[in-house]
Structure 1
């Protein structure tokens, strides 16, 4: 049985265990996964590989997920790519700020596989 690929998702996560867990959930569900361990790498991969969705953490070295959102929205190549923020920050202000920076959805850790998949599907037009 062959998997029908649903699309390509760029995961931006500096924690190796989180990156692997999310990658596993998405691959198992039929997505093609691109991994980046930081925002600068993510900006390069997003522009060159044009993912269908970007899932990013907020707290990362060098550049936060919020800054990454702003940079993606400023680039004509990536300005329309849906962005899901996945963070352990669960305050209403974090959610509000994420949306102000251009995120399309916000989920908090720990998340379930179903919640992650449902959120991704909800932002894909």
Structure 2
């Protein structure tokens, strides 16, 4: 799969090391990566760029990943963009709640490169 058919992924993650690791995995796989360190920055970037997929953490300052999911799903411009949650919250209730807020896939940290890529493929096919 080449980068043109793969598209652009917006990664929303407040941990610099997680953001870099995820970006590295995605760029290595041919994706164009946009980075945001919080939900508010992500919302600004989405207005300018049109990501194919959004990957978000849940626990962030200012606005949680759950709130970001709700915001994106209520907005006509972004409601069709698939969201993958990537979080250290590994309880089933967190996964179910994320899905109720509009997430299409859920990956728990720590994750492997393959788990991350599989989640992206599952929401883009």
CA distance in 1, matches of 2:108, 2:47: 26
**1:114 deviation in Å?**
0.4
Match of 1:77 in 2: 77
**1:41 deviation in Å?**
0.7
Match of 1:118 in 2: 118
**1:89 deviation in Å?**
0.2
CA distance in 1, matches of 2:119, 2:73: 20
Moved over 3 A (4+): none
Q: Conserved in 2, the CA contact under 8 Å of 1:66 and 1:101?
A: yes
CA distance in 2, matches of 1:76, 1:53: 15
Q: Conserved in 2, the CA contact under 8 Å of 1:47 and 1:78?
A: no
CA distance in 1, matches of 2:62, 2:99: 21
CA distance in 2, matches of 1:65, 1:20: 18
Extract unaligned runs of 5+ from structure 1: none
RMSD: 1.0
Extract unaligned runs of 5+ from structure 2: none
Q: Secondary structure at the match of 1:73?
A: helix
Tell me, yes or no, if structure 1 residue 4 matches structure 2 residue 41: no
Aligned residues: 123
Q: TM-score, normalised by structure 1?
A: 0.96
CA distance in 1, matches of 2:123, 2:2: 19
